[in-house]
Amino acid sequence: MILDLEKVSADERISGDEVVVFQDVAGQENQIHCHIELGLRKIGDTFYIHVDLSGSFSTACHKCLEPARYEVTPSFEVVVQKAGQAAGSEPGSGEEDFVRLPIGQTRLSLDQHIYENLVVNIPMRISCSDRCRGLCPACGVNLNREDCRCTAAADPRWNELRKLGEKSSE
């Protein structure tokens, strides 16, 4: 998303949609479909751009390998000043992304800020649900769909233990 700061007015709200491509830890490319809401404030020559992102993408659950959907909704602030403005007027708490626009430039791309704020908020491992039981390491059965007989076949006493475990977790 590119903003032309000459053309936006103070207190404007702008929204848009973008597709952001990133690579996950497995090197797999993912597309995040992202809705962007911008709130602008201008104080003096300084722009404060509050950005709310709401993105979602599909990936494979790291436990059961079934499709999993993940939503990522970071918010952040970008503070923009033009070069040549008095030093020491640097505003804010240091939490924001700070941009100093070169003299004569009015266009600002938010793509890098959007990308970074999305990607740092994506966990390395994504599960289809908190209760995903994953695959049986012995036979590969998806334990969300069916119980396998691996532990039972290996040793009948596991059955009793498993019943006890199920009782105590009820």
Interface residues with Zn ion (CB under 5 A)?
A: 61, 63-64, 128, 132, 136, 138-139, 141, 148, 150
- Pick the closer one to Zn ion by CB: 14 or 132: 132
Least gap, CB of 58 to Zn ion (angstroms): 13
Are 10 and 44 a contacting pair, CB within 8 Å? no
Least gap, CB of 82 to Zn ion (angstroms): 49
- Pick the closer one to Zn ion by CB: 54 or 127: 127
Amino acid (1-letter code) at residue 155: D
| Buried/exposed 101-124: b ≥16 CB within 10 Å, e otherwise | beeeeeebebeebbbebbbeebee
Least gap, CB of 128 to Zn ion (angstroms): 3
Least gap, CB of 157 to Zn ion (angstroms): 17
Are 96 and 79 a contacting pair, CB within 8 Å? yes
**Length of the chain, please?**
170
Measuring CA to CA, which residue among 83, 78, 79 is closest to residue 105? 83
Cα(163)–Cα(147) distance, integer angstroms: 13
- Pick the closer one to Zn ion by CB: 66 or 77: 66
Least gap, CB of 155 to Zn ion (angstroms): 13
- Pick the closer one to Zn ion by CB: 120 or 139: 139
Amino acid (1-letter code) at residue 25: V
Are 73 and 54 a contacting pair, CB within 8 Å? yes
Beta carbons within 10 angstroms of residue 58's beta carbon: 13
- Pick the closer one to Zn ion by CB: 10 or 139: 139
